[in-house]
Every structure is written in C-alpha cells, then in structure tokens.
Amino acid sequence: MSGSRRPHSSQAVASGELCHLLPAEPAERSGQLGRPAANEIFSSAEPSRQVGDTGGPASLPAEYADNNLTPALPVGAAAAQTSAGLPAEAATLVESYQRASKADATVRAYRGDAAAFEAWCSRYGFRPLPASPEAVAGFLVAEAEAGRAASTIGRRLAAIKYAHKLVRQPDPTEDEAVRATMKGIRRKVGTAPDQKAAATADIVMAMLMRTPDTLTGKRDRALLALGFAGAFRRSELVALDVADLREDPEGLRVLVRRSKVDQEGAGFEKAIPHGRFIRPVALLRDWLDSAGITEGPVFRPVSRSGRVRGTLPRERGRVGELRHSSADASGVADYATPAPRLTTQAVADIVKRYATAAGLDASTFGAHSLRAGYITTAAERGADLARIMDQSGHRDTRTVVGYIRRANAFKGHSGSGFL
C-alpha cells in the first residue's frame, strides 16, 4: 500500500482496536528480522461504540445479564505506549522484534482470536483495547455457550493477554473474575484433547501402497515416509529445505532449524535410517530427483499438469525467453522466483486422502497422525523413552509417556488372566 502508513501501537490503543500489533501474514524467508515489519496484528475492525456515543452501547443478551457487564470507559490520551519517544523507524523495528517472538502459527491463531473478540465487543458496545475484565469474562462465557473447546477459549484468552502486554495496558485477564470464569469453563466444558489416530507403521505402509506413480504420488510418498520416520511436526516438514538434508552412510541427517519447542532457532538434527520396509530415504531421493529439486523447499505444490513450481527460472522479455541466475546487462542478478512451500494444511489433507484410500476413517486422522504413529510404533517395539524423545524432539517426558501408555494399554493388563 503506497502513500499510507499503518498506525503504531499507540494509535491502536487510542482507537481501542486489537489491531496493528502483529503481522497480518507470515513472511517468506528473508533477511527482514525473520518476519516483515508490518504494523497490523489482526484484521482491521471498526472501533466499538463507547459510553456517550449517539447510538449508545448495545444491550446485552439475557444470558450475560447476571455477569454485571458494563462497557469499558474510553482510554485516555496519556495511555502507556510500547515505544513512546522513539523515532518512527526505531519504533517499527522494536515492534517487529516483539512480534518475531511468536511463532507464525501462533500469530495466525491470535489474529483469528482477536477478530472474534473485536466482533463480540463491537456487537455489545465494549472497547476491546484496553478491555475491561467484565468484557473479557462475558466473551469467554459467550464462547463456551457457542460450543468452543476449552483449549480454544484458553488460547483466545492468551491472545487478549498478549495484545494488552504489547502496548503496556493493564491486563484484564489477570482479574480474579476472569480467572474464575476460565476455571469454571475448564471444569464444565472439559479439557480432554481431540487426539488424532496414530498412523502406525502398518498404516503408513497401507497408505504408501495407495499412492499413484505420478509426480504428485512420489511427493506424497516421500512426505508420508519422512514425516513418519522423523516423527515430524507438520510445521517442521513444510519448513525443510534441501540444504537441511545431509547424506550419511547409515541414512540421512535432517536439520530442523526451528520447531515448536525451539523458537529461538538453535536447531537440532534427526537421524533417518535407510530402512527396509518404509524406506524413507529412498522415497525422498526419488521425489527430489524426479522433481528436479536441488535447492529450496523440499515439499512443494504440484500443478494439475504435473509441474513442480520453483524448479525453473522465471520468464523475462519475450514469451519463452528464459534467463538463468546470472548478471544481466545492468549487472543485477536475475534470480528465479522463490519456490512456494507446501502448506501445513496440505500435509493434513494428504494424510486424510490416503487414510481414506486405505479404507480408514479420515476424520480421525490428520498431520499429527504421522508423528503419533512413529512414537506409538516405537513404544510397541520396546524402544527406550530417551531414544524416542531424541527422534520426536519432545522435551516433556509426560507427553511421550502418554503415547507409550496408550500403546501398551493391553500389554500385561491386570485383568488379562481372569476376564
């Protein structure tokens, strides 16, 4: 958007919006602090009506009346500012680094959460930023009554907390009324996770047998096999570059540059054996060779015509004229357009597609099924807990023990001798 500047966080506070705090979309890999210095958090929304507006605040529905909710007063001009006194460019850099502290997936989730809160506040006449504890509690109740999972409501509460902390506004989520409301929701709604079925080794084999012998099929085979063999999170899979792969006599070493538990980017390696049954290394090599991928993203979209994007230089000049990555007459290098990555949703779709092809209930499978399947299969085969965690990248033993307990639920069952 040329000719206009996006408001800084102080302006967001003044307008009462939960916007202009986080990037609207994650950036492609670049040298720009890991993410763009965009000054918008969630989608823009009109400020909610305040006390004294001509229209007045919207009346609350009866189910919220007993919460004694009252619209929050407008924030004063002297509200605390995240980067008060700094030059505009310095303030932008400070805010950009702050936003880079959150993972892309968290940013996307928070955008949706804040949009939901803004919409609720706009409907009932509350200011979303800074929000009153009463407004936050009422929003949580509305979400619970709408059938939202306790985990979703908890994440939305975290988004509200984060937005207020960024602009140094009083945190309404710490109010005892809000804490009690959230505790009651967890007790009433429950917090049991909706866990996806584990795609164990035999299931992965069944999926691989259903893949077509096309370029798309080769990509899907490589993704299923590598995702299982490395117990990868889907975000880790789609972030892999060819430069992250290093061949070894025993198989393949894969560098995970950043993960859910390593947001600082220290990185760690996963060892992928050649294998005799699933053969993840061979399937990955077949995909890369067939697609002509020698650098950039490992897993990419394949068009209906069977073309893998990002493997040829971009077109320049006359139709059909291609210029390779070399300096032109102006001395400026002409590089190919950055290759697109497969999305995390595409990983889930691929798993579901082949679960259906294998005669399984696709609704119980997802991207996490590959990771859960590896851990479950390893536990069934008696693998050491520490070795399983080396591959999965888990830091909390309790999470892995949960998988092992489910895998061994009938092994040595206390009632097996008399039931």
Q: Catalytic residue at 371?
A: yes
Amino acid at 176: E
In degrees, rounded to 5, the angle at the alpha carbon of residue 339 between the alpha carbons of residues 336 and 341 is 170
- Exactly one of 35, 127, 270, 394 is catalytic; name it: 394
Q: Catalytic residue at 233?
A: yes
Token pair for 374: 């590896």
Strands (E), 158-278: 245-248, 251-256, 268-273
Q: Catalytic residue at 403?
A: yes
Contact 111, 21 (CB under 8 A): no
CB-neighbour burial class of residue 231 (10 A; exposed 0-12, middle 13-18, buried 19+): buried
- Exactly one of 110, 124, 374, 403 is catalytic; name it: 403
Name the residue with tokens 């602090």: 33
Token pair for 49: 């009506």
Q: How far apart are CA 138 and CA 251, in angstroms?
A: 55
Q: How far apart are CA 326 and CA 336, in angstroms?
A: 10
Contact 110, 103 (CB under 8 A): no
- Exactly one of 258, 260, 279, 353 is catalytic; name it: 260
Q: How far apart are CA 295 and CA 286, in angstroms?
A: 15
- Exactly one of 218, 233, 234, 270 is catalytic; name it: 233
Q: C-alpha 366: how far from its chain's center?
A: 14
Q: How far apart are CA 294 and CA 241, in angstroms?
A: 9
Q: Catalytic residue at 110?
A: no
Catalytic residues: 233, 260, 368, 371, 394, 403
